[in-house]
Amino acid sequence: MCGIVGAIAQRNVSQILLEGLSRLEYRGYDSAGICTIDKNELNCIKTTGKVKNLKEAVKEKGCLGTIGIAHTRWATHGVPSEVNAHPHICENLALVHNGIIENFAELKEQLIALGYNFKSQTDTEVLVCLIHHHLQSSDNLLQAFKAALNEVKGSFGLALIDKNDSNTLYAARSGSPLIIGLGIGENFIASDTLALLPVTRRFIYLEENEIAVITTESVNVYDLDGNKIEKTAVESDLDTESISKGRYRHYMQKEIFEQPQSLQNTLLGRLRGDDISTETIVGSDENSFKDIEAIQIVACGTSYHAGLVGRYWLEELTGIPTNVEIASEYRYRKAVVRKNSLFITISQSGETADTLASLRLSKEQNYSKSLCICNVNGSSLVRESDFTLFTKAGAEIGVASTKAFTTQLLSLLILALILGKQKGTISAEQNHEIMENIRKLPNLSQEFLECDSQISKLAEEFSGKHHCLFLGRGVMFPIALEGALKLKEISYIHAEGYAAGELKHGPIALIDKEMPVVVVAPDNSLMDKLISNVEEVRARGALLYIFISKDAHIKQDEQTRKLALPDCPEILQPILFTIPLQLLAYHCAVINGTDVDQPRNLAKSVTVE
């Protein structure tokens, strides 16, 4: 969701900025822009649509300069258009912005009264004018920048340049991530490390309410009162390989097929016989969770579905009562917090605004500890939580989450084992059996991927439908929810996930020949109950797609398509049965001709509320 890139160097920076924007495309956006300082003038080019349109415009018009800022915009205030695209300019200043300035309307009125004119409908143009206004009464731009930021309410990641000073790039953050990339004789900023991997691997993470003043040789960071802050640079371990599509047609396809490796990486170095090493949860020791008596999980989207699965495992293996809630709901509710409660956030990016706000709220509540399950080292959630369990999925570029989800599930199972061990609620035999099963997971996931060609055939029939139901029972209910979410987000087929036992309380009214029903049916203790629900649907003429363990029996007729999947241990079924659902969504999207990796209106990392 919106991307920022900035650079200051002794070479032309426009190609670095455009390449950075291309690498941020996965975050979701609808327009893009770039501004450099060339011969003391601001050279600004903006286009709607994809970054390739901006690249063509830059090629045509030319864009030189050793300092510049660039942006991909996901519209919040004002429609996607060239005028509303960033950078926004006020006289000598150009600004790009991620986030939302909540009090922009009242600031705009004040600025209009002072004689400022506005071309766009954006909050960002208001902010650049506010900085310009303060500059008229300040000694320098840093002072004016601070004064303006002290007046705004809301969230921002910002990059600012001044045509009268081509030696300094300014950046600031509050609520929207921003990192500084350190080069040799050149420095960079971006909203995401992926944008800068071709130019550097050394990064400084800006914290809340920090301003950076960046030249080719120096990076100075201040708080909003002007106090200097010492920062430490960290080396990124992301490889450039992870951000190429390789032999695959789409990132999503690559990421689905990477799951055996990413699940292996989640386990790497963590399993010691029947034990899990204490370093698995960063910041913890063997007693950290002994006194935990309740758990609250908070997350958004796919990560929320992971939390719903996690609850089954946590309650079964640790006996600890566990609640799961959507972050945007949790943050505005007066939750009752039990004594000795653990607050868990789950997030691929570690930057989702509602999840982060919930974590911050939890610190004012009565929680004893916070833990995040996260894929991105250095992200806000990681930095602000007491403990972190890294999912180690590797960079995920496709907007629809796939390998991030299955590694979140595996991480939750590992967490349940760690907590169960500390609480003494798991027997040695049960622990041994689960550990043995976990070790089989990467190979089993490879076997599940082999259903790809069968699913692509099913998808041909399926993709023409407009609506679809996904059914599951027990721990497979959240997997049905996730299957429906995958399908709707990338193929635009309307899909709903339902607990199979709930069907007769409403959705059964929708069943007819035009409404396919996908049943997630691994062979487990709820199989018989599920089959009864399937019969109710069959009796009403539904077209059934049953994803079932290969040895389990199900009645076959012309209404039923059976996809036989490998046998697997019950504890691993939620992870493994996710894979065919991801493939179904993927193939339907390809057939429907949608933008698989960047579906319309969606963003990978939702950094605004």
Identified binder of ligand G6P from the candidate list 399, 476, 480, 563, rule CB under 6 A: 399
Binding region for ligand G6P (CB under 6 A) out of 32-40, 255-263, 394-402, 590-598: 394-402
Number of residues located near ligand G6P, criterion CB under 6 A: 16
Pinpoint the alpha helices (H) of 375-469: 380-384, 403-423, 428-449, 452-462
Query: Is residue 355 close enough to count as binding ligand G6P by CB under 6 A?
Result: yes
Q: Which stretch binds ligand G6P (CB under 6 A): 51-59, 78-86, 301-309, 411-419?
A: 301-309
Instruction: Give the CB-nearest residue to ligand G6P.
Output: 301
The verdict on 326 binding ligand G6P (CB under 6 A) reads no
Q: Is 604 in the site for ligand G6P (CB under 6 A)?
A: yes
Dist. CA 295–CA 373, nearest whole Å: 14
Stretch binding ligand G6P (CB under 6 A), from 255-263, 346-354, 522-530, 565-573:
346-354
CA 163 to chain centre: 35
Q: State yes or no: residue 602 binds ligand G6P (CB under 6 A).
A: yes
Q: Which of 392, 486, 488, 604 is catalytic?
A: 604
> Cα separation of 477 and 308, whole Å?
9
Please state, in angstroms and rounded to a whole number, the distance separating the CA atoms of residues 431 and 557: 41
Closest distance to ligand G6P from the beta carbon of 528 (Å): 33
Shortest gap between Cβ of 24 and ligand G6P (angstroms)?
Answer: 14
Q: Is 300 in the site for ligand G6P (CB under 6 A)?
A: yes
In a 3-state reduction of DSSP, which class is residue 469? Answer: strand
For residues 131 and 139, what is the distance between their CA atoms, to the nearest angstrom? 13
Q: What is the pairing mode between strands 210-214 and 271-272? A: unpaired
Question: Measured between alpha carbons, how far is 80 from 88 in angstroms, rounded to an integer?
Answer: 14
Active site residue 129: no
Is position 298 an interface residue for ligand G6P (rule: CB under 6 A)? no
Instruction: Please report which residue ranges of 28-85 form alpha helices under DSSP H.
Output: 51-61
Q: Given the complex with ligand G6P, which of 404 and 469 has the nearer CB atom? A: 404
Cα torsion through 492, 497, 502, 506, rounded to 10: -10
Considering only 91-99, 313-321, 410-418, 599-607, which stretch makes contact with ligand G6P by CB under 6 A?
Answer: 599-607
For residue 423, give both structure tokens. 């609480």
CA dihedral 461, 466, 467, 470 (to 10 degrees): 40
At its nearest, how many Å lie between ligand G6P and the CB of residue 579?
17
Instruction: Kindly tell me which of 43 and 491 has the beta carbon lying closer to ligand G6P.
Output: 491
Pick one of 48, 76, 349, 370: the residue that binds ligand G6P (CB under 6 A): 349
Query: Shortest approach of ligand G6P to residue 391 CB, angstroms?
Result: 10
For residues 1 and 55, is the Cβ–Cβ distance under 8 A? no
Binder to ligand G6P among 72, 84, 280, 347 (CB under 6 A)? 347
Tokens describing residue 322: 């566990």
Q: Which of 2, 44, 468, 588 is catalytic?
A: 2
Give 498: exposed, middle or buried? Use CB within 10 Å, 0-12, 13-18, 19+: buried
Pairing of strands 165-174, 210-214: antiparallel
302 binds ligand G6P (CB under 6 A): yes
Residue with tokens 């399937």: 534
Tell me if residue 2 is catalytic.
Answer: yes
Catalytic residues: 2, 604
Q: Which residues bind ligand G6P (CB under 6 A)?
A: 300-303, 347-349, 352, 355, 399-401, 602, 604-606
